[in-house]
Amino acid sequence: MSGWNLGLALPEWILAGCVLAALAADAQGRGEWVRRFAWFGVLAATAAAGLQGLLRLDTGTKLHAFHGRYGLDAFAVVFKLIFGGTSLFILAMSGQWLSRVDRGHGEFRLLALMATLGMFFACSIEDFASLFVSLELITVCFYCLAAFKRNDARSVEAGIKYVILGGLASAFLLLGIAFLYGATGSLEIRALSAHADDLGHAGASLLQFGVLLVIVGLAFKIAAVPFQVWTPDVYEGAASPVTAFLSMGSKAAGFVLLLKVVRACLGPGADAGLRDPDAVRWLGLVALMAATTLLYGNLGAMWQGNLKRLLGYSSIGHAGYALMGIFALSEAGFAAVVYYLMAYLFTVLGVFAVIILVNGATKSHAIDDYSGLGRRSPFLALVLTVGLLSLAGVPPLGGFFGKFLIFRAVVDKGGVLAYSLAFVGAAGVVISLYYYLCVVKRLYMHEPGPDAPATIAVPAPMKAVLWTCLAGMFVLGIFMGPFVALAEEAARALVASR
């Protein structure tokens, strides 16, 4: 664990270098170079992370750099690939959208690139200081991105709401870290695991309070109830590519960090695996959070007339499902979360790609303006339908298998609490199917309005995004074998890390 081992952080170095280069290029007013650096940075960093995974990691190994403050294992690699893929999709999607904006092309890509750096970094952090830095890097970029359309009052409102509540959450997180430092005398996350047994005891209130505050800070990122209030407004107000990035990248980063903290709370990982999760007394709280989150999100989404707002609520619901996976506190549960996020990547980005295209033609996000899309643009309607059905969890799509793994992990846990949570989740599936189908109904069963635009043109990069997302949803839903193995590898690495 000792030694600097600087080469290990190659993906981050690449990204950081590209951020600086793009910054310089933007200062010179060379927007074209910013675009190139952004593409190169994300592509090279993703490739580097993938190659590191292939070449330097055997099953179950974990490599360290910066004297143990930075770790690389299968968990980190899988998530770096997820984040790299997200950023690539966002860059491809934003080209179409930026062409409709007259300024700030360089800043947009630069901020996206910096947020990606933060996400990559978040996968590898090993102590609370780095956790905070990586999280802030991501969040601050998103503050700016959310308010990117500075002439649009709703975008600015979104930015301000996000800043105020995000700042509050950061304060909670920081306070929590301070408590933990006071209780354990160390900033390292694994120091927490040495005290895991105390978490259930009455005497260790400092420690318990610290963990609670850290979880509050992270729950804000993943938009779990009761820290979800910002989500629909920000989703609606921010520009569509930003919303897409927020709903996938930012949320997944929150889950990466949450998984790491939750793992540490379970105590030193014996090689045999996790200790008996029944000994974890704060589990009821996680179950409560998961249940309320998924009910709030899904019930709230039922009344929405704006598609982006609907997806904002539904993303709260999806955070609830992923929390169910965390509730399971088992390798299977963590693997289910990883798989869920993999499927979510293709699903939610495909949906947002359609939203960007339709919005370009109609200047509207109202669900009513999607009427008759099935007749006007059959391909877009198809991708949107498949995406929404995958979000709802319908086979043979990736979203279904993600949910299936989550339910499997929860039922595996057994006990009244787990079964009740599973039934609440099942009710959530039905509710979510209702509002997703209400959108699908618009697409196919309603006739287009008189002033609806004819066929919407799809530029080449968007076409690539749409086809990749479509293929990704089906592959993850049908040929799940290798991806399950990947997710399990990541979960195993997470569980084994100490």
415: contact with other proteins by CB under 8 A: no
3-state class of 348 per DSSP? helix
Report which of 105, 115, 103 is spatially closest to residue 19, judged by C-alpha positions.
Answer: 115
The gap between the terminal CA atoms of the chain, to the nearest Å, is 12
By CB under 8 A, is residue 480 in contact with other proteins? Answer: yes
Supply the minimum distance, in Å, between the C-beta of residue 351 and other proteins: 16
* C-alpha–C-alpha distance, residues 443 and 448, integer Å: 9
- The answer to whether 389 contacts other proteins (rule: CB under 8 A) is yes
Segment lying near other proteins (by CB under 8 A), choices 24-32, 46-54, 100-108, 423-431:
423-431
Pick left, alpha or beta for residue 76 (phi over 0 → left; psi -120 to 50 → alpha; otherwise beta). Answer: alpha
Residue 81 beta carbon to other proteins: minimum distance, rounded to whole angstroms = 20
Q: Does 153 bind other proteins (CB under 8 A)?
A: no
Among 133, 168, 361, 484, binds other proteins (CB under 8 A): 484
Rounded to the nearest whole angstrom, what is the least distance from the CB of residue 294 to other proteins in the complex? 13
Q: Is 187 in the site for other proteins (CB under 8 A)?
A: no
Distance CA 201, CA 203 (A): 6
Stretch that binds other proteins, among 35-43, 315-323, 363-371, 476-484 (CB under 8 A): 476-484
DSSP string covering 321-334, please?
A: HHHHHHHT-SHHHH
- Quick one: 181 or 444, whose CB is closer to other proteins? 444
Angle at 353 between CA 351 and CA 357, to 5 degrees: 120
Please say whether the beta carbons of 335 and 405 come within 8 A. yes
| 414 part of the interface to other proteins, by CB under 8 A | yes
Q: Which two tokens stand for residue 488?
A: 């399990």
Per rule CB under 8 A, is residue 334 in the interface with other proteins? Answer: no
Choosing from 429, 465, 469, 493, the residue that interacts with other proteins (CB under 8 A) is 429
- d(Cα 475, Cα 397) in Å, to the nearest integer? 8
Residue 303, token pair as written in the block: 């009344």
CB nearer other proteins, residue 202 or residue 416? 416
- AA identity, residue 34: V
> Which one among 444, 452, 463, 498 touches other proteins, defined by CB under 8 A?
444
Shortest distance in whole angstroms from residue 15 CB to other proteins: 33
- If the CB atoms of residues 4 and 434 are measured against other proteins, the closer one turns out to be 434
Tell me how long the chain is: 498
Task: Please tell me whether residue 485 binds other proteins under the rule CB under 8 A.
Answer: yes
6-18 burial by CB neighbour count: b if 16+ within 10 A, else e? eebbbbbebbbeb
- For residues 15 and 116, is the Cβ–Cβ distance under 8 A? yes
Question: According to CB under 8 A, which one of 177, 380, 488, 496 is a site residue for other proteins?
Answer: 488
Of the candidate residues 68, 95, 396, 453, the single one contacting other proteins (CB under 8 A) = 396
**For residue 479, how far is the Cα from the chain centroid?**
23
Query: In Å, how far from its chain's centre is CA 292?
Result: 19
Integer Cα distance of 77 and 123 in angstroms = 8
User: Is residue 408 at the binding interface for other proteins, with CB under 8 A as the rule?
Assistant: yes
- Give the span between the Cα atoms of 42 and 113, in whole angstroms: 7
- Binder among 341, 407, 458, 490 for other proteins (CB under 8 A): 407
Nearer to other proteins, 192 or 405 (CB): 405
Calculate the alpha carbon distances from 395 to 389, 390, 391, 408, 466 in Å. Answer: 8, 8, 11, 16, 19
- 49 or 389: whose CB is closer to other proteins? 389
For other proteins, which is the closer residue by CB, 105 or 318? 318
- Which CB, 161 or 492, lies closer to other proteins? 492
Q: Which is nearer to other proteins, 158 or 476 (CB)?
A: 476
Q: How far is the CB of 444 from other proteins (least distance, A)?
A: 5
Distance CA 47, CA 52 (A): 8
The reply on whether position 481 binds other proteins by CB under 8 A is yes
Which parts of this chain interact with other proteins (CB under 8 A)? 374, 389, 394-396, 400, 404-405, 407-408, 411-412, 414, 419, 422-423, 426, 429-430, 433-434, 437-438, 440-441, 444-445, 480-481, 484-485, 488
